[in-house]
Amino acid sequence: MRIASFDVFDTLLTRVHARPEDLFVELGDELRWLGLVACAGAEFAALRIAAQADARKLAPAGEANWDEIYQQLAIRCSWDTDAVRLAQAAELALEDRSLRPVDGMAGEVARARQTADQVLFLSDMYLPGQFIQELLRRRGIWRPGDRLLVSGEERCSKASGAMFQRMRANWSGPVEWSHWGDNRFADATVPQQFGIQPVAVVKTHLNRYENLVRGPADSVPVWQSKLAGGMRLARLCNPESNGARAVIWNTACGVVGPLWFGFVRWCLEEAQARNLRRLYFVARDGELLVELARELVKAWGLDLECRYLHGSRQAWHPAAFQNFTAGEFGWLFAPTRFLSVRQVFARLGLEPQTVGPWLAGGELDKVDWDEPLTSDVQSRLQNVLLHEPVRQAIEAESSRRRGRLTDYLQQERFFDAVPFAVVDVGWRGNLLRSLSRVVALSGRSAPRPLTGLYFGLASDVSSTATDVTLLGYWNKHAPGDQPIEQENVVLLELFASATHGSVIGYAENGSRMVPVLDRPHHDAALQWGLTALQQGALEFARRFAAEVRLEAVATGDFHRVVWKAYREFYDRPTAEEARVWCRLPFSDQQIETKWEILAPEWNRRELLAALLDHRLRPAGWWPEAALARQPSWLLAAFLALRKARRRFQR
């Protein structure tokens, strides 16, 4: 005889709430709306839990059934028979709405059926067996001939072993029995004592991010429980059970998705408050953000158009001036880890050879154009760029670029009479300022000043100017008063990585203007697993937006909670997380020719040199990940000293 048995809750079905008892808070809110209770949801949850505990004390074998629990609850709430029935119906309906199949487990049941003579469903649960059977049937798990045992009705439980004993007595002779379940005691330790082979299903247990977001309190707001529950439900959809892509997916569900969800939700909130009808999400950071926004707009039924706008520093800065002066040197010579003569000209959209004679006049023909700029070479180059013939060439190229950019904006309905804002990750608003100048020089009408919505703005950036209005999510809702530039903004940008290359201009393609990319695909990021990152984040957004409305949570509260998960990831990455995330390459250059990673694998000498000289570190150096990836007492001491210094500075 071959038996296959399955626990039901958190094995085959799991709730949208982080913990089972969190459902009672939402139930309390519903019952208050129905006029059955006067207390808040959290207070009702305590009454519901206490009623269940008292009912178990009075029940045979300590296993209370559904009606016995509600008898105790009726005493506490002063309910008559009709009120009890109404409350019971409300709880069952809420359970039904809140339960989701655990991804992959229906397949496990189907595979077990191929060899099992009997399939059992065993549950230590107070809900009516008929209700549970119907849940399984409607989700395609229950088949005729299956059997279900529920502890509240059978007066025996898995945890005591009595449920296994009772079922074992139904068969004589040898029995091969496998049992799937999530409880380490009731579904593993106990059945082993009866010769039953346990199969652990622990993926439904909250992971460290989900536990942190839900918090340790007995009762939390419904949205907070569903936030952790949504992270779990999305994680359970992971197509990979292990390996780098599994790590990336899990990080997307527990850290990246919630972080960007909060930002995008704020953008939608601002759009409604400002009566905006359209949001433009600027490439490349906007690729994931616009998809998140579309998911939320669809889920919440908002009247808002979300468009992806191909743009970049390389595409917009060189098009944003009519007269080239030293005032353009700010963006042109903006420092990066590497800047050469050739890269300066590339920022202008020119090749050095086009102004070769004037470079020779400045003795720059003898300089290696691919070597880092020295201060002397930079000074001579600036003089050459302001020389009249060179300046005219630069202005002509700017005019050509501006014309194509303006045509692209026209195509993307930028000049329609529709109020809009531009969405970007951050950090100084220079891209929007260049866009504003392009619009002004084009002579076409567009909302002035242009409005930009940013994840974060540098602390010294003015939020308003004559040409642009800049609004920062971080600046308004950051926990504490830490400026965004003290965070690892490179890592945050990596969270918004795109599948395509950087926009370097625009070109005609038939009747359309199309972006010109430095490469069609970001091959390194795609090979790393970028698709898993984006899909995991979107899966989280779909799951959570389906359960919680836009207005259900204060923006600051949401950011405060999800930021805890980010800090856990950043400050205490696992060795596997560190290894995976430190393989994703990045470049801080406007013209991307050199690539770095967040935590190089240095030997002791290289590490010491980097600790002594910050110029030897990557722009987005992540020492916590370096330590998790490659333990070092030297790096541990450095981090401890840095932590102590920051504490002292506060």
Q: Is the pLDDT of residue 112 over 90?
A: yes
Stretch 179-204: mean pLDDT: 95
Q: How many residues does the chain have?
A: 650
User: What gap in Å lies between CA 477 and CA 458, rounded to an integer?
Assistant: 14
Confidence of residue 532 (pLDDT cuts 50, 70, 90): very high
3-state DSSP assignment of residue 72: helix
3-state DSSP assignment of residue 472: strand
Token look-up 């808070």 returns 25
Stretch 241-245: mean pLDDT: 88
User: What gap in Å lies between CA 499 and CA 534, rounded to an integer?
Assistant: 9
Each residue's pLDDT tens digit, 140-176: 999 999 999 999 999 999 999 999 999 988 887 778 9
Each residue's pLDDT tens digit, 491-512: 999 999 999 999 999 999 999 9
Q: What was the pLDDT predicted at 593?
A: 65
Tally Cβ neighbours within 10 Å of residue 204. Answer: 20
Chain-centroid distance of CA 293 in Å reads 12
Name, in order, each residue with C-beta under 8 angstroms of 409's C-beta and a sequence gap of 6 or more.
415, 438, 439, 442
Q: Is the pLDDT of residue 650 over 80?
A: no
DSSP code of residue 194 = T
Contacts 24+ apart (CB under 8 A), 475-482: 476/555, 476/556, 477/266, 477/555, 477/556, 477/559, 477/560, 478/559, 478/563, 479/559, 479/560, 479/563
Stretch 202-228: mean pLDDT: 96
User: What gap in Å lies between CA 278 and CA 411, rounded to an integer?
Assistant: 15
CA distances, 23 to each of 29, 95, 178, 196, 397 (Å): 10, 8, 31, 33, 62
Q: What was the pLDDT predicted at 23?
A: 97
Q: Is the pLDDT of residue 647 over 80?
A: no
Each residue's pLDDT tens digit, 283-312: 999 999 999 999 999 999 999 999 999 999
Residues 534, 288 contacting (CB under 8 angstroms): yes
Each residue's pLDDT tens digit, 543-568: 999 999 988 889 999 999 999 999 99
Q: Is the pLDDT of residue 590 over 70?
A: no
Q: What is the pTM of this model?
A: 0.93
Stretch 247-266: mean pLDDT: 97
Q: What was the pLDDT predicted at 239?
A: 85
Confidence of residue 591 (pLDDT cuts 50, 70, 90): low
| Two structure tokens written together for 221 | 């707001």
Alpha helices by DSSP H, listed for 59-154, are: 66-77, 81-98, 105-113, 129-138, 151-154
Residues 464, 451 contacting (CB under 8 angstroms): no
Q: Is the pLDDT of residue 12 over 80?
A: yes
User: What gap in Å lies between CA 358 and CA 365, rounded to an integer?
Assistant: 9
Query: Which residue from 154, 145, 204, 232 is spatially nearest to 9, judged by alpha carbons?
Result: 204
Tell me which H or E stretch contains 562. Answer: helix 555-571
| Two structure tokens written together for 394 | 């630069």
Each residue's pLDDT tens digit, 436-461: 999 999 887 766 789 999 999 998 88
| Two structure tokens written together for 573 | 């990455």
Q: What was the pLDDT predicted at 594?
A: 72
Residues 474, 455 contacting (CB under 8 angstroms): yes
Q: Is the pLDDT of residue 212 over 90?
A: yes
Q: Is the pLDDT of residue 649 over 70?
A: no
User: What gap in Å lies between CA 625 and CA 623, rounded to an integer?
Assistant: 5
| Two structure tokens written together for 230 | 């949504």
Going through 465-529 in order, the beta strands assigned E by DSSP cover: 468-472, 503-509, 512-517
Mean residue pLDDT across the chain: 92
